[in-house]
């Protein structure tokens, strides 16, 4: 049985075909005749009370310099110099390379952000990106734009960032984001107190989000979860302007039976 069930009323789908740029994160243009109650780009949105919002502690500008060409040799030279090759895509027609810019970012800065936030949380957070003609600080500002990290590849052994893909994220954009889940209430869960095993099925959930209110994470309250119960995607409490892109019946977590040690003890 499912607890924390809330009536799930999916918002009307957009009438025009939406182009997604990747399975992890993507942006689409907003049709002029889209349902206004879903998202009106002329009306600014803000985080609602009680919902997670980005920690201002990590409001950091990502600094970058232009990169003229791409390729394995160029990428290797950039990494040797302490920089990470990256690319910025336009929200519209980005899959076809529309208005893309090759850049290099500071490797230490990206590593610090990923280490502090965690990979999934880094990919669900907006940053200000400043592209300068040179890192020294005496160059010219080439571009200043808000971006969402779309993909990041890390070294398998050291977790050093190898390359990053960013997506321009103006307020008018809808972004397809895998939002991380944070589970709370383990200390009061009746199922855990009875010796049940807490089984996490999903770590992230895919939502279509207006760029201004991308949740840094979603709280999942398991304080009332008893043995044999589960929480599904439709139970999640999120901003009403977010659109779930997966089946609301998919389970997020379950409370399964009793641990083997508890079963032995009860015999």
Give the predicted TM-score (pTM) of the model. 0.77
- The reply to whether 173-266 shares the fold of 56-168 is no
* 215/179 Cα distance (integer angstroms): 7
Name the least confident of 90-94, 110-114, 133-137, 224-228.
90-94
Where residue 7 falls among pLDDT bands split at 50, 70, 90? Answer: very low
99: left (phi over 0), alpha (psi -120 to 50) or beta: left
Q: Where do the DSSP E strands lie in the chain? A: 25-28, 61-66, 83-89, 101-106, 127-132, 141-154, 161-168, 174-184, 197-200, 204-210, 218-221, 230-232, 243-244, 251-256
Predicted local distance difference test score (pLDDT) of residue 136: 65
Cβ–Cβ contacts within 10 Å for residue 146, how many? Answer: 17
* 68/217 Cα distance (integer angstroms): 36
The answer to whether residues 154 and 99 touch, using CB atoms and an 8 Å cutoff, is no
Domain ranges for the chain, please list them: 56-168, 173-266
Q: How far is CA 249 from CA 191, 213, 223, in A?
A: 21, 24, 20
Span 16-47, pLDDT tens digits: 322 233 334 444 444 433 433 455 555 678 99
166: pLDDT strictly greater than 50: yes
Where residue 173 falls among pLDDT bands split at 50, 70, 90? Answer: confident
Q: Could you please state the CATH topology (level 3) that the domain comprising 56-168 is classified under.
A: Ribosomal Protein L25; Chain P (2.40.240)
Cβ–Cβ contacts within 10 Å for residue 141, how many? Answer: 9
Predicted local distance difference test score (pLDDT) of residue 22: 35
Instruction: Locate all alpha helices (DSSP H) within 27-71, ordered by sequence.
Output: none
Predicted local distance difference test score (pLDDT) of residue 11: 30
Span 68-111, pLDDT tens digits: 888 888 899 999 999 999 999 875 544 444 678 999 999 999 99
Predicted local distance difference test score (pLDDT) of residue 91: 59
More confident residue, 118 or 17: 118
Residues in CB range of 95: below 8 A, 6 or more apart: 19, 21
Q: Could you please state the CATH topology (level 3) that the domain comprising 173-266 is classified under.
A: RNA Polymerase Alpha Subunit; Chain A, domain 2 (2.170.120)
More confident residue, 227 or 99: 227
- φ, ψ (nearest 5 deg) of residue 16: -95, 155
């Amino acid at each position: 049985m499912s607890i924390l069930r809330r009536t799930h009323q999916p918002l009307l789908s957009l009438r025009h075909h939406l182009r997604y740029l990747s399975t992890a994160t993507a942006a689409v243009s907003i049709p002029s005749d889209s349902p206004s109650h879903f998202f009106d780009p002329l009306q600014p949105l803000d985080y609602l009370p009680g919902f997670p919002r980005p920690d201002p502690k990590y409001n950091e500008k990502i600094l970058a310099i232009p990169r003229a060409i791409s390729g394995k040799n160029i990428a290797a030279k950039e990494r040797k110099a302490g920089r990470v090759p990256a690319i910025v895509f336009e929200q519209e027609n980005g899959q076809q390379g529309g208005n893309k810019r090759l850049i290099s970012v500071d490797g230490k800065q990206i590593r610090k952000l990923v280490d502090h936030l965690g990979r999934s949380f880094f990919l669900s957070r907006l940053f200000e990106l400043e592209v300068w003609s040179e890192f020294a600080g005496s160059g010219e500002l080439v571009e200043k734009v808000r971006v969402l990290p779309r993909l990041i590849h890390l070294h398998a052994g050291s977790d050093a960032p190898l390359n990053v893909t960013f997506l321009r994220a103006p307020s008018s954009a809808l972004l397809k984001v895998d939002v991380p889940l944070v589970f709370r209430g383990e200390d009061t869960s009746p199922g855990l107190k009875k010796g049940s095993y807490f089984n996490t099925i999903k770590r992230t959930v895919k939502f279509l989000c207006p760029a201004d209110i991308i949740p840094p994470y979603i709280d999942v309250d398991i304080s009332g979860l008893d043995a044999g119960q589960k929480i599904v995607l439709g139970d999640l409490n999120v901003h009403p302007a977010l659109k779930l892109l997966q089946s609301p019946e998919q389970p997020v977590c379950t409370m399964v039976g009793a641990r083997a040690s508890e079963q032995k003890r009860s015999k």
